[in-house]
């Protein structure tokens, strides 16, 4: 079978959730689709929006599960089974309230950290051994109840920073495709500096 990679962005479908912090995963795969000039299609058998790109590294399938966040594993599990995909060729992009806005962190495996989308994927795959790219969205305070923050829209200032974050995260995904996980982690993990100098660029 051809070399195939699966990149899943987690989020909630529907206009009311567009551009909310919880949809950072959706935002990332949309940046990649725009960068690679590929179109989205609804594929009911996978309960997902799918975009496919033919790249030098192989075929890349971008996925936005349409199951709502808590059931993301239904879509991911169906795709992994259909493509008989080895888990090292899967990466899941997800928002993370435990990371500050401006930080990204790619890891080869790990726990769900209480994220219901990752919990669902782990349940359906029967494994934690898949890469996850966490996109920091921060917290307003230390309360555990953060639904309002997570499901809230980004402010104008946050949107500008998020665009830089997503560009860096997209670069990280492309490095993962070309050079593997270790180089992608060492080169891009960390905090994006929102410097005044950057703000002054024309």
Percentage helix, strand, coil for the chain under 3-state DSSP, each rounded to 5: 45, 25, 30
80 token code pair = 């992994």
Q: For residue 133, give the H/E element and its range.
A: strand 131-136
Which residues, at least 6 apart from 83, have a Cβ–Cβ distance to it below 8 Å? 1, 4, 6, 61
| Contact indicator for 75, 20 with CB cutoff of 8 Å | no
Question: Does the annotation count 22 as an active-site position?
Answer: yes
| Contact indicator for 88, 180 with CB cutoff of 8 Å | no
Q: What is the Cα–Cα distance from 28 to 135, expressed in whole angstroms? A: 9
66: helix, coil or strand?
coil
Give CA separation, 167 vs 4, 172, 174, in Å.
23, 9, 11
Tell how far CA 136 is from the center of its chain: 11
Given the residues 22, 115, 116, 124, select the one marked as catalytic: 22
Active site residues: 22
């Amino acid at each position: 079978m051809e070399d195939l990679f699966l990149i899943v962005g987690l989020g909630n479908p529907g206009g009311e959730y567009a551009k909310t912090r919880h949809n950072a995963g959706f935002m990332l795969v949309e940046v990649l689709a725009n960068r690679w000039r590929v179109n989205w299609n609804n594929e009911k058998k996978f309960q997902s929006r799918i975009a496919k790109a033919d790249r030098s590294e192989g075929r890349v399938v971008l996925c936005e599960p349409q199951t709502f966040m808590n059931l993301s594993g239904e879509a991911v599990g169906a795709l992994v089974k259909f493509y008989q995909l080895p888990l090292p060729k899967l990466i899941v992009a997800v928002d993370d309230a435990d990371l500050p806005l401006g930080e990204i962190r790619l890891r080869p495996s790990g726990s769900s950290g209480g994220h219901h989308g990752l919990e669902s994927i782990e349940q359906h795959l029967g494994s934690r051994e898949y890469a996850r790219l966490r996109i920091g969205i921060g917290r307003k305070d230390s309360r555990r109840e953060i639904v309002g923050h997570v499901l809230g829209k980004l402010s104008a200032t946050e949107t500008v920073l998020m665009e830089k974050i997503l560009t860096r995260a997209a670069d990280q995904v492309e490095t993962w495709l070309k050079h593997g996980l270790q180089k992608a982690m060492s080169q891009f993990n960390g905090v994006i500096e929102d410097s005044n100098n950057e703000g002054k660029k024309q």
